[in-house]
Structure 1
């Protein structure tokens, strides 16, 4: 457990200097730069593949039309070189196929390398955030996060590559047109600018604007469906099923309408883009026929330019969504950055996650008895107007046991979470003396039972001997229960296996705590579900076993306090 410590200073947390947090956009491109060799190779192969495909279409068109024209006369048929164009066509086919295969390997490899680093760093940072203050397990927050990660990961593959390929293909297309029809540039340049610049921008606007509203509507639809199935029996008993079902249908209908409107808007943009491409072909045909009539252009070359235009337009249409994908990924990275408080080193090579609150200093453990001192700490949950803990001060020192007393909802569990670092106080400081972060351990109210053996549930990936496990179970009176298990410590527990009662789960949690051997122990409702006599016996044993330690208990049953225990009131 991580603890909040302030060794020598007594300053307010809000007075700490703010941590400068670079955006995840910089981190993404830093990771991409680390894979620049693979990424550049993939970019070049994607470009070569696209250009080879366009050239294959154009050369094939020229070859077919030139062959047909040569076959009109016997002399032309004998003099025409069929082998060189055929070899070029086969060569372009091989280049396109090989390039496509290599491009898939390199671009996906670069993407997966970036994703693996980004995901591990991102989720590592998210895991250290205080989600009790801003819960991530709500459907709206978690689904938005997963959606944003999907968009962010596709920046290189779905935005940078098609955008770069489109721009380079258009430049090469213009260069080719200038060779055969230089006077036509004044006609086709405005059309190309509209299709390459304006259309992607309009497509971006039609993609970004409805994204948030559509996500909110789908989240509302999911929440309504979840509520309906969770409370189905109650809704039927109180004849409210029809009303809730109608609400669910309304939510689904509204989301479908938004999605259809968005899809139609994007289809209109693509239709306009196709129309502009058709106009571009007509311009090429018109100017090409004029050049053909005066002998400036051959018929086969005109057919080649038409097919070249068609091939380039296919690349342009594929790259129209590149700007939208970049906008989605960029916005997603900015939203994720708000969920992932982090600091990145100057060279942006090492991702260091950091809490959004004050910097913590861990006191050096000493032989002195452990103690906790808090000075005027206050805490308010974001969704509440008033503070649950206000200006609380005090000192808790070993070897005493302290029982936190306060009515329900007055901050007993909140105080334990503040001590363990799961929450940060808005004001005040918490000093932990004579212990480090690894020597403070919490037994929560809800004890989770993992699907695995009893040994696994006790050890939690830490090495413990069978003797230590048996001793901890004996102290909490689970030794008799252990002897009844068919496979002893290797008996499987959890869903689909042997289950425990509420009191047995609590005692299993105490056994886990005993195995930690920490100097400061926090117990949240440890005796709930355990009968009074057994609870008294277990606590008496723990008094002896934990002699010299600092024990802080949150419990509604103050009758379990011993004469040596002390009450700590939260006003």
Structure 2
């Protein structure tokens, strides 16, 4: 089956995370199945032997009922206990492994380069963390656990029946392995395409549903609401068609396993009849043999569902694997010598998808407490410089050193939570007095005090309920709560009206006293609160001067 190679790294991750628990789960599942077969066979033997012994007084008196009865009770207890521990161990191990995979996957998607791609399709991460990771649990629970139990059952049945007649035991093992494994593998091959269609259709249906719910206002205004509903309906029909194909394959596979089981059972009845006629075995042993064959097919039937989902599991592995293979950990930059906030020497940086350097042999020294404006056109390298200082983009150079920094991006990130919850992201141990002080410094103190619920006021998704200026002030208040000595602000007043922008900048300048402040901007008003100006073009600094060296007209030339 195509794509099975994608499962090997996932299996390595599974058995690397919880090797003992996963192997123990397979062993306990095997004990459960063998105990069930043993219980069925011994019970049949005991009932048959007891009936025959009761035909005469002499045999009834001499018949030992205690040992078989004790064996039946023991097997019943073993089956119950092992079934409980099978569920406990296998599901606990699986959930632990999947939790580890989710964390690792989230960390990889949180990397700057991946997060940039993710912004284009934000629903993708949700599907990877939920649907794709959930699909991987069937690889262990529905494939490897029943397969291990099935192989052990075939071996047990072969040995038990081989003791009665060697060729009989060998034939049963061959049929069990050939048909019991062959039919599920054939089902896996046949269902691969339909299962992949179902997985992709389900993802499309969820994405379109999210778009319909979240963007219904925009869709209605654009006259696209009916078209979106039609697209959602098409995705639903696509999934339904895939489900019909899968149901047909599953029914055929179940029917095939049932036919093989019935044929094997019929053949076993004929064989034990011959053995009884020859005197090789008696009636109780014959009953034991038939019941062993009857129970031996159970774990092979359990493989059917896992085989049906193998295509979806392979697709999930292919999606998750690239992010699992990359294990890059972001590290804090070294601290520069005393008196310096930033120290770069011949630093270059580029993004993974671009061969051209975003920063080219940049050297920069910024003293503690300086307020510096980084000015330049869009794409000149301002944001890349900030990402280097935050440790989000790997850089090469003689020295890359900076004090711990906090970045206020151009895009205001607020969450569907209370005002308090959004602020506590910056300082989890802050009390209400600290939060209100930060809000007051950002110009939101009076507004929050006027709200009925105050800090407990609930915001909608993306900060819904606040105006653009209020959202920016809330983000600024969150910055004020941090204790980082270096503040980086990327276009802090972009999109704000003139009066709001001037007020935000005045409050920022006042609160930034004693801290190092770097502002990336193309606006004159943002650069006005800084004493030093750095011009950057095509990833390299072209000018560096203070406002004392030039007049404001020359200093801010080219800025809006």
Interval containing the TM-score (normalised by the shorter chain)? 0.7 to 0.9
Equivalent runs, 1:140-179 vs 2, <5 Å: 140-179=124-163
Residues 311-347 of structure 1 deviation map (CA, whole Å, 9 limit, x = unaligned): 111232224556677886677456423113555xxxx
Corresponding residue to 2:482 among 516, 523, 542: 516
Cα distance per residue 1:115-139 (max 9 Å; x no partner)? 4555445544544464333317633
Report the alpha carbon displacement of residue 278 of structure 1 after superposing the two structures with TM: 1.9
Instruction: Tell me whether 539-548 or 171-180 shows the greater mean CA deviation.
Output: 539-548
| Cα distance in 1, alignment partners of residues 373 and 495 from structure 2 | 21
Q: Is the 8 A contact 2:372 2:517 kept in 1?
A: yes
Structure 1 match to 2:390:
420
CA contact under 8 A between 1:440 and 1:520: conserved in structure 2?
yes
Taking the TM superposition and a 5 Å limit, the aligned residue runs for 1:364-513 are: 364-371=335-342, 373=344, 395=364, 397-398=366-367, 399-406=370-377, 413=383, 416-417=386-387, 419-423=389-393, 432-433=400-401, 435-436=402-403, 438-448=404-414, 451-452=417-418, 454=420, 457=423, 460-463=426-429, 472-481=438-447, 484=450, 492=457, 494-495=459-460, 499-513=465-479
Q: Return the alpha-carbon distance in structure 1 between the equivalents of residues 437 and 478 of structure 2.
A: 11
Check whether the contact 1:503–1:528 (CA below 8 A) recurs between aligned residues: no
**Is 1:59 aligned to residue 42 of structure 2?**
yes
Per the TM alignment, residue 158 of structure 1 is displaced from its structure 2 partner at its CA by 3.2
Question: 1:97 Cα deviation (Å)?
Answer: 2.0
CA 387–493 in structure 1, closer or farther in 2 if over 3 Å, else same: farther
Residues 212 and 387 of structure 1: CA distance in aligned 2, closer, same or farther (over 3 Å): farther
Displacement after TM superposition at 1:181 (Å): 2.4
Partner of 2:73: 90
Structure 2 gap ranges (5+): 1-7, 539-560
Residue 287 of structure 1 is aligned with which of 271, 282, 288?
A: 271
- Give, in whole Å, the separation in 2 of the partners of 1:498 and 1:318: 49
Q: Deviations over 1:331-389 (max 9, x none)?
A: 7456423113555xxxxxxxxx536xxxx78333222333465868575795xx99795
Contact 2:154/2:173 (<8 A) preserved? no
Question: What is the TM-score normalised by the length of structure 1?
Answer: 0.76
Alignment check: 8 A CA contact 2:420 2:435 kept? no
Report which stretch shifted further, 531-540 or 281-290: 531-540
Cα distance in structure 1, aligned partners of 2:230 and 2:419 = 46
1:244-259 to 2 correspondences below 5 Å: 244-259=228-243
Structure-2 separation of matches of 1:237 and 1:508: 30
Question: Equivalent residue of 1:508, what SS?
Answer: helix
The match for 1:8 is none
Tell whether the 8 Å contact from 2:348 to 2:361 is kept in structure 1 after alignment.
Answer: yes
The aligned residue for residue 178 of structure 2 is 194
- Note if contact 1:371-1:550 (Cα within 8 Å) is conserved in structure 2: no
**Quick check: 2:426–2:479 contact (8 Å CA) kept in 1?**
no
CA distance in 2, matches of 1:335, 1:120: 15
CA contact (8 A) 1:188 1:283 kept: no
> Bigger relative contact order, structure 1 or 2, given CA contacts below 8 A and separation 6+?
1
Does the C-alpha gap of structure 1 residues 467 and 68 become closer, same or farther in structure 2, counting only changes over 3 Å? closer
| Residues in 1 aligned to 2:33 and 2:135: alpha-carbon distance in whole angstroms | 24
Q: Secondary structure at the residue paired with 1:131?
A: helix
CA-CA distance at 1:205 after TM superposition? 2.1
> For residues 236 and 186 of structure 2, what CA distance do their matches in structure 1 show?
27
Classify 1:396/1:145 alpha carbon distance in 2 versus 1 (closer, same or farther; 3 Å).
same
Q: How many residues align?
A: 526
Structure 1 residues 199, 106: closer, same or farther in 2, change over 3 A? same
CA contact (8 A) 1:140 1:216 kept: no
Distance 1:178 1:230 in 2: 65
- TM-score, structure 2 normalization: 0.77
Q: Verify the 8 A CA contact 1:281 1:309 in the aligned structure 2.
A: yes
Mean CA deviation greater in 552-561 or 43-52 = 552-561
Confirm or deny: 8 A CA contact 2:491 2:519 kept in the other structure.
yes
CA contact (8 A) 2:204 2:235 kept: yes
Distance in 2 (CA, whole Å) between partners of 1:192 and 1:459 is: 59
Deviation, 1:226, is 3.6
Tell me the C-alpha RMSD between the 2 structures: 4.2
Give ranges in structure 1 of 5+ residues lacking alignment: 1-21, 344-352
SS at 2:488's partner residue? strand
Query: Paired residue for 2:18, among 28, 32, 37?
Result: 32
CA gap of 1:411–1:256, structure 2 versus 1, over 3 A, is farther
Q: Name the CA distance, whole Å, in 1 between partners of 2:506 and 2:85.
A: 71
Deviation sequence 1:505-533 (CA, Å, 0-9, x none): 32232233233354432223323465534
